[in-house]
Structure 1
């Protein structure tokens, strides 16, 4: 994911939870539907005319299927959540999924995807959240998935990072930063999110986990482009913090007003000292593991990567390593990241 740097106390708790054994007694929900951007994408961009695709080596170097289109070296957060929920197989991307797959789950996430329709236009093909939900509607209708079944499924959404990285903070390409101040832009995105969430609810979603945007100002890419190469880009993180507060308020509002459904906010932002990661086995916080060309963010095809990948927070200059993803997934599933519910509690509702 576009991973942030989290506080020592926060991550120590996550690490403790991760070290503990999680016993999963079979598949806990009948189906799992995944929405979002490159943090969750498992191959939906592979056949698009897009700069936002990674179906090449060294991506997937630690994944059983090799370079599938996942923006990391191994599993994504969504992959690990699926495992923790008892699914024996990874939830497949919509691209190439059979119609019957809608009965057990589909991954609709797309690298470059956002809330604002213009987000990531410069990258070419990508699927925004509105279109992802439209794709979901078509898939469940074609497969004739019963409404009662859909209400028992798990839904996770991780969206919004690109609306900042590939829109608001690209003033040379997009005009949003001249049209909106950070508060106004966060409000604008929140209104879009609210509309999309209502649509998903009408399609049967009753157990929904919404992930915050992480501290994208602390990614290697943003440190160079907006932090002067000297540390996290504070203005970027401050803008994202407004989005996250509004998202948490949105979750609380839906829980009060939408009967028969449960929503939870997953906090992968909470800030702190990156040096704290040293105590968790991470030794490199500001540099990607793979070979990256100057000014770029994705790995150069078929070039060397670090040998000690579990010690790196980041896989490339924007996306987190599998080691980071595993910890974040565990913290969201039965750790301290979810509010008012962990995902484990959500699936039992």
Structure 2
């Protein structure tokens, strides 16, 4: 099982309140064995998706995705494990079953379920897959069908990873961004996580948004040398509003029902950013992706429609790349977030 991410310590501090007092040892620490009873429900985008996107459409089901883990394409937008896998490992449980695989019989839904779809957001995006509201609808349907009991939900945790695709879609369709759009994203996100909690989930943790200006899709314009200050400022504004909103929600509920997983800080730490420039890092070229299309119109996983020839290249040492493709961290990138 993958080793836990250091930054998930903050998640445990938030979620430990969901564990019954009897699950603590004589020092007040958590008994790891009792965490195996926790059910994990996941909502969001490609950072959390472990196999929900359709095989006929998503690059995550094409080579070379999955070459590090599990050794072949398995629906994860990386060469290996993604955020969901590491959070589950940290909690001492298997990665929850993707919603689309719930009827295969190959895995059990007893430990939770993953409703995340790559490319989606709080609102509708350029992807046609279910947005967050619809993902929660799917979860509610399972609750109403009594797949999960009240006791199940009382020992459950929800993780939400969403936001980047909303901004990408808004910029692509409108060309500019106003502060009011960020407010609408945060307000809808707040409604969504309150709804998850209202369905019986004890603790809901939402990720801050990664520094968008550091994604290879953005840094390609300067040969992956520096992050974009413009996009990173947008990200920081979003995260400040998100943090304040989560604090307000906790004040409303009178307990720590909602928490933050600081993915933004984790990225900055792993990339060793100094301003918008990378410093000393474990990675050879921190902002450069490992898997890229051979030309502008191609991307990681692309093939020629006629011949089937590969239209992408993969770096010689994926373990030295923080980013796998133009958007997503590599297996090693996720592993070293802190």
TM-score, with length taken from structure 1: 0.76
Shift of 1:209: 1.2
Q: Which runs of 5+ in 2 are unaligned?
A: 1-5, 11-30, 304-309
Shift of 1:230: 5.8
Q: Which moved more, 1:266-275 or 1:307-316?
A: 266-275
Are the counterparts in 2 of residues 32 and 155 from structure 1 also a CA contact under 8 Å? yes
Question: Measured at CA, do residues 150 and 37 of structure 1 come closer, stay the same or move farther in structure 2, by a change above 3 Å?
Answer: same
Looking at structure 2, the residues matched to 109 and 133 of structure 1 have their Cα atoms a distance apart, in angstroms, of 10
Are the counterparts in 1 of residues 250 and 258 from structure 2 also a CA contact under 8 Å? yes
Shift of 1:53: 3.9
Indicate the SS of the match to 1:269. Answer: helix
2:202 to 201, 206, 219: 206
Asked which structure has the greater RCO (Cα within 8 Å, sep 6+), the reply is 1
Structure with bigger gyration radius: 2
Any residues of structure 2 matched to 1:266-277 within 5 Å, and which? 266-270=261-265, 271=268, 272-273=273-274, 275-277=278-280
Looking at structure 2, the residues matched to 286 and 261 of structure 1 have their Cα atoms a distance apart, in angstroms, of 36
1:62 to 68, 71, 83: 68
Structure 1 segments, 4+ long, off by >6 Å, are none
Report what 1:308 is aligned to.
317
Report what 2:119 is aligned to.
112
Looking at structure 2, the residues matched to 299 and 144 of structure 1 have their Cα atoms a distance apart, in angstroms, of 36
Are residue 97 (structure 1) and residue 102 (structure 2) matched?
yes
Are residue 142 (structure 1) and residue 141 (structure 2) matched?
no
Question: Measured at CA, do residues 139 and 217 of structure 1 come closer, stay the same or move farther in structure 2, by a change above 3 Å?
Answer: same
Looking at structure 2, the residues matched to 230 and 310 of structure 1 have their Cα atoms a distance apart, in angstroms, of 19
1:36 to 28, 31, 44: 44
RMSD after superposition: 2.8
Deviations 1:114-167 (A, max 9, x none): 0122x22xx4x22211111011111222243111220211111110010122x1
Looking at structure 2, the residues matched to 29 and 297 of structure 1 have their Cα atoms a distance apart, in angstroms, of 40
Looking at structure 1, the residues matched to 74 and 33 of structure 2 have their Cα atoms a distance apart, in angstroms, of 28
TM-score, with length taken from structure 2: 0.79
